[in-house]
């Protein structure tokens, strides 16, 4: 039957296309109205279902409240009342992640894991194996020859930390991305310099259009306590050229 073929292909196409339209999804955005449809619920105070609130069946309210309290407990590694955080640590509290629109819900829009150092939930200690602790004089001496380790407490004032290592210029491309171009003016960022294991701050500022070697750029000045680094961006704020005037360094994107 030669004529049967096109018809069956057409009906197959119809079957394939139709569910596609039926399943098309749209994002309804943030849900409006009372949290979980319960007038008294707040972001930090979820309410049980009406039957549980009425303690029906008996014990269900206690079960809910017990679980809610455990869900909000802050866990520590050791020496506290809720010990148990280990090397697979991802957070210290169930409700730290399950917080939207109220405790027990889903994750917040900004991942809370990125704030654990800034909020003092976790800290970093680096020790060099086989080395002995530095003496106070060695800590002060930048030219010390003997390997020794010192403990460095890394704490930052903002949840975003820019990693800017010595002599790794492409990392500066992140700064114009973090910079608030609608505000402009000098803006301060927390930075970590891994090779020196030093936390610090830098100031970045858009300085308007800049010409260099006959090319036009958007100028962007970065100042650390002891160094000025000039970035030259294209109109989309991509890093095209970097200059360290004091070191007479030019890094140019081809
Ligand atoms: C680091 C963030 C984070 C922490 C902390 C966390 N969760 Fe979750 N949880 C999630 C994410 C993300 C999902 C969704 C995972 C998926 O669907 O693949 C999830 C899913 C769940 C689910 C399944 C929910 C469903 O509707 O299917 C339960 C139950 C749950 N978590 C309980 C807990 C409990 C209990 C704790 C504390 C011991 C906890 N979570 C801590 C992020 C977290």
DSSP assignment of 139-186, as one string? Answer: HH-TT--S-EE-------SSS-EEE--TT-GGGGGHHHHHS-TTT-S-
- Which of 127, 125, 129, 95 minimizes the C-alpha distance to 112? 95
Q: How many CB atoms lie within 10 A of CB 73?
A: 14
Encode pLDDT of 163-173 as tens digits: 888 778 888 99
Q: Does the beta carbon of 113 lie inside 6 Å of ligand 1?
A: yes
Q: Which domain holds residue 162?
A: 158-252
Encode pLDDT of 80-103 as tens digits: 999 988 888 889 999 999 999 999
Across the range 205-225, mean pLDDT stands at 93
Is the model's pLDDT at 107 over the cut of 50? yes
Among 69, 98, 109, the mutation site with the greatest number of ligand 1 atoms within 8 A of its Cβ is: 98
Q: Give me ligand 1 centre to Cα 60, in Å.
A: 22
Across the range 30-39, mean pLDDT stands at 89
Closest ligand 1 atom to residue 113 Cα is 1
Q: If pLDDT is split at 50, 70 and 90, which confidence band does 133 have?
A: confident
For Cα atoms 100, 106, 108, give the angle at the middle one, nearest 5 degrees: 55
Instruction: Report the DSSP pairing between strands 215-223 and 239-244.
Output: unpaired
pLDDT at 5: 53
Residue 243 lies in a domain: yes
- b/e map of 184-207 (b: 16 or more CB within 10 Å)? eeebebbbbbeeeeebeebebebe
Is the model's pLDDT at 218 over the cut of 70? yes
pLDDT at 1: 46
Q: How many domains does the chain have?
A: 1
Residue 203 lies in a domain: yes
């Amino acid at each position: 039957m030669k004529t049967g073929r096109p018809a069956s292909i057409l009906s197959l196409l119809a079957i394939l296309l139709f569910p596609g339209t039926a399943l098309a999804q749209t994002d309804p955005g943030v849900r409006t109205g009372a949290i979980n449809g319960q007038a008294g619920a707040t972001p930090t105070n979820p309410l049980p279902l009406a039957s549980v609130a009425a303690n029906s069946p008996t014990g269900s309210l206690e079960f809910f409240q017990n679980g809610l309290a455990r869900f909000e407990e802050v866990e520590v590694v050791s020496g506290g009342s809720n010990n148990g955080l280990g090397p697979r640590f991802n957070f210290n509290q169930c409700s730290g992640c399950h917080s939207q629109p109220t405790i027990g819900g889903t994750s917040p829009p900004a991942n809370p894991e990125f704030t654990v150092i800034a909020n003092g939930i976790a800290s970093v200690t680096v020790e060099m194996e086989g080395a002995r602790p530095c003496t106070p004089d060695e800590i002060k001496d930048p030219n010390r020859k003997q390997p020794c380790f010192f403990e460095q407490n890394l704490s930052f004032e903002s949840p975003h930390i820019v990693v800017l290592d010595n002599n790794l210029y492409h990392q500066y491309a992140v700064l114009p991305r973090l910079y608030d171009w609608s505000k402009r003016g000098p803006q301060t960022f927390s930075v970590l310099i891994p090779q020196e294991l030093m936390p610090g701050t830098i100031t970045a500022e858009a300085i308007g259009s800049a010409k260099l070697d006959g090319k036009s750029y958007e100028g962007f000045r970065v100042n650390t306590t002891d160094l000025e680094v000039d970035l030259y961006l294209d109109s989309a704020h991509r890093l095209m050229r970097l200059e360290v005037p004091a070191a007479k360094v030019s890094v140019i994107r081809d």
